[in-house]
Structure 1
Amino acid sequence: MTRIGVITFPGTLDDVDAARAVRLAGAEPASLWHKDADIHGVDAVVVPGGFSYGDYLRCGAIARFAPVMDEVIAAAGRGMPVLGICNGFQILTEAHLLPGALIRNDHQKFICREQRLRVESTTTAWTNLFDEGEEIVVPLKNGEGNFIASPDELDRLEGEGLVVFRYLDNPNGSARDIAGVRNQRGNVVGLMPHPEHAVEPGFGPDSPAGARQGVDGLRLFQSAISALVGA
């Protein structure tokens, strides 16, 4: 069975939810601790949301130097699928596995709501079961979710198809409505909204068309399994 590791840092909040999403998708979740010097042979890694190390210095800045991240960076370089959610996205940008940075929301407030997204890239390990242009809804909860990059870098992301998710109603001021990005290879993806909170009917927001009840986030984890099985 596919094994997907979920990292826990001091201050992580959504590791249990991410592990549950992995299990519902059909894989075996494996717990990874921030002090681990290896990733114990997992096939993919989820860096979940929360407030790693209390968000001291800036979000993700300390977690990026945790021993386990050295192994994640090396594994990502070999092509292992890695997903960063919210604080995990911040950690991946701090580790330079993904471009850009996340800063305080433009309205200076924490936000928690159901969030509409458009899927922009389906050629990644985490989005291959979506349709390009598809609209989905997953929960959003952040205070530092404002994606920024230089104008030249934003042009590069757009030109090279590295934007994975885009806000349909920008909640935090993110440049060009960017909610998630990928690396060039497509094995590393980060997004601010929380797909792990939309994996079971009745416990997540319904899709816009009402055909999918609360499970729009599940396909990210199923996509990773599909990518690994087909590799």
Structure 2
Amino acid sequence: MLIAEDHRVLARTIATGLRRQAMAVDIAGTGDEAERRCLLTAYDVLILDRDLPVMTGDEVCRRLRDLADPPRILMLTAAGEITDKVYGLTTLGADDYLAKPFDFAELVARVRALSRRSPQPPRTVLRQGGITLDGTRREVSVDGRPLELTPKEFAVLHLLLQACGAAVPHREIVRTLWDENLDPRTSAVRATVSRLRGKLGDPGLISVDKGQGYRLCD
């Protein structure tokens, strides 16, 4: 997702919190940068401040509405009057509206709700072999045994289950679950997969196909 916010400390704080929830986050400090990034990257959600320099958040919202597949837009702004919210949701076409100051748990809940919106909602319960993952409840079990996974481990397992046995390239995992600041040469993905293997109880459940990526085996 993309955070368009010119208050650097606030933008970094939000980004850090969302990354701890296993979300890949980029940051834009101006409206024109936000629009440019959205034209280059298919973000799921755009957290958009209305009061941005160079190009206002209102104008960014109007322009992005013309895209064939625009990101879901959550306006995050100090303009919290009812008339402001109605204007943002109806005239500008935002998908959601949250006034500052806000509770971070509410922001996360709204972002997750927006990210689930699609023409064909993904399956919330995925199964392969003895593994069951409930995306709504964010629960995982193996042969009925519940597992405690970190947000990033959960996200990697979810991505592998969605692939239905096909290999998921390393670069795809990085692009989807980490953000642009991650060095592609880092061992973060390998370390996460290693911990996930240990918790699943069978190292062979996740194979490494050389040159292809990671694959979940039956």
Per the TM superposition, whether the score is higher than 0.5 is: no
Normalising by the smaller structure, the TM-score range is 0.3 to 0.5
Point out which structure has higher relative CO (alpha carbons under 8 A, 6+ apart): 1
Specify which structure has the higher proportion of strand: 1
The structure whose Rg is larger is: 2
